[in-house]
Amino acid sequence: MALIVQKYGGSSVADAEAMKRVAARVAETHEAGHRVVVVVSAMGDTTDDLLDTAAEITSHAPDREMDILLSAGERISMALLSMAVNALGVPAQAYTGAQAGIRTDSHYGRAQIVGMVPERIARAVRDGQVAIVAGFQGVSEHEDVTTLGRGGSDTTAVALAAALHADVCEIYTDVDGLFSADPRIVPKAHRLRTLTQEETLELAAHGAKILHLRAVEFARRYGVPLHVRSSFSEKNGTWISDSPANPELTGMVPAAALADSQEEPMEQPVVSGIAHDRSQDKITVTNIPNLPGKAARVFEICAEVGANIDMIVQNIPVTDPTRANITFTLPEGDAKRVLDALEAARDEIQFQDLRYNPNIGKLSLIGAGMRTNPGVSAKLFGALSEAGINIDLISTSEIRISVVTRLDDLDRAVAAVHTAFGLDATETEAVVYGGTGR
Ligand code: ASP
Ligand code: MG
């Protein structure tokens, strides 16, 4: 008997039919003798619809009221799913985030979990009930409803799995797991059978949209094994664990899945996957006096307006070493604030120009095997040059290389690099069942 946390995304509970299918799956897991905790997202596009309706009423909705509103989407799901499970003769009860003991700080819209006291959930499953928890929400110390940020139901699920010492946290979505690249760009992307938590963190942090970044951080910190899979098929998905052999040893992988895995090579590839990101912009501050403290001022100003800087490159022209150009990338939503704040500091910093380019894309190649294998950058740059794609900026970590290209070149770049690293599947494998990837 295992304790299993199952999280179902919005596309898996989009309508009554889908709810019933999920309920059957939950009931099946319960009847197999496991203790089951379910976390649900809002149905389909409910969260977006709620945001649109609020925007029709006011462009200045108070943050607190917005969180109460958005938390309603998940509450509808939890109640309906609980009814569907009960209708199958399996006892289930629904719980809000507050009832499930998810305590957060008061940062509405992006609350952080500060404590987990899931007593009622633990008691319910001990008593043989299925506990169904509304994702994406918690309660602040002032007893106000908070939400955890878009995609936050993943984090609810992993946090509950950690607090309840669950054997596995299953993340159900509408694709068969994590892929070596976005199947919408690379139809030959293949499903990743296993991935380390570190690789998953890099993928999620650099644009792969399948998992909430904080959920991955939680899973890593508390050693929660994740299994990302489709609620539309019985197929084995992607196991995320820092000891990839572990899920098989614990008997959590069904025999059929092990048979399927034998078709795949045993040796770990150097590169596991490619993430891409279209959501960043680039700013260059030109001709800054090349003096101590000037770069610090530029980034202090970025920090003061709350911008999250990603890549940074400084170059000093050979023709005039008294001056420097600093280029950096940042989320597109932060660009206007940074440009205005830097413009206001023009006389103080004494730069010449601000150049702004919103049309950039970032490709990130990720693989734990990079640590021990030379030649990865050479191969990456070779593949891009063969495809005639110019590289603008480069940054690296121990297990990642990211390059910035023109936005128009990004899709082609991802496909070319995917092929160059031998990641193409022999046949098209990726199926998006529900259509949203959530
Ligand atoms: N319903 C929320 C959203 O759409 C949370 C989630 O689905 O994880 O972002
Ligand atoms: Mg999601």
Which residue has its alpha carbon closest to ligand 1 atom 4?
A: 47
From first CA to last CA, the distance across the chain in angstroms is 29
3-state SS record for 384-436: HHHCCCCCCEEEEECCEEEEEEEHHHHHHHHHHHHHHCCCCCCCCCCCCCCCC
Q: Inform me whether the pLDDT recorded for 269 exceeds 90.
A: no
Angstrom distances, CA of residue 356 to CA of 138, 301, 352, 359, 401 = 39, 16, 13, 9, 24
CB 243 within 8 A of CB 295: no
Give the position of tokens 């009960």: 86
User: 150 in ligand 1 pocket by Cβ < 6 Å?
Assistant: yes
User: 153 in ligand 1 pocket by Cβ < 6 Å?
Assistant: yes
What is the arrangement of strands in the sheet containing 102-104, beginning at the earlier edge strand? 113-116, 102-104, 137-139, 145-147
The ligand placed nearest to the CA atom of residue 67 is: 1
Question: What does DSSP assign to residue 14?
Answer: S
User: 44 in ligand 1 pocket by Cβ < 6 Å?
Assistant: no
CA distance 258 to 248: 8
CA distance 406 to 379: 20
Residue 160's nearest CA partner among 1, 4, 2 is: 4
Give per-residue pLDDT as tens, 402-429. 999 999 999 999 999 999 999 999 876 5
Which residue has its alpha carbon closest to ligand 1 atom 5?
A: 151
User: 34 in ligand 1 pocket by Cβ < 6 Å?
Assistant: no
- Give the CB-side neighbour count of residue 39, counting CA atoms within 13 A: 29
Q: Inform me whether the pLDDT recorded for 381 exceeds 90.
A: yes
User: 42 in ligand 1 pocket by Cβ < 6 Å?
Assistant: yes
Which CATH number is 3-262 given? 3.40.1160.10
User: Which part of the chain is CATH 3.40.1160.10?
Assistant: 3-262
Please state the atom number of ligand 1 nearest to the C-alpha of residue 41: 7
Using the mean position of ligand 1's atoms as its centre, give its distance from the Cα of residue 332 in Å: 21
Please state the atom number of ligand 1 nearest to the C-alpha of residue 73: 1
CB 94 within 8 A of CB 74: no
Give per-residue pLDDT as tens, 10-28. 999 999 999 999 999 999 9
User: 136 in ligand 1 pocket by Cβ < 6 Å?
Assistant: yes
User: Which part of the chain is CATH 3.30.2130.10?
Assistant: 271-420
Give the position of tokens 């633990």: 122
The ligand placed nearest to the CA atom of residue 228 is: 2
Residues bordering ligand 2, an ion, CB closer than 5 Å: 9, 151, 438
CA dihedral 27, 33, 37, 42 (to 10 degrees): -20
Residue 251: per-residue pLDDT: 46
User: 152 in ligand 1 pocket by Cβ < 6 Å?
Assistant: yes
Q: Is the dihedral of CA 376, 378, 382, 385 positive or negative?
A: positive
Residue 435: per-residue pLDDT: 57
Does domain 271-420 fall into CATH 3.40.50.1980? no
Give per-residue pLDDT as tens, 89-125. 999 999 999 999 999 999 999 999 999 999 999 999 9
The ligand placed nearest to the CA atom of residue 174 is: 2
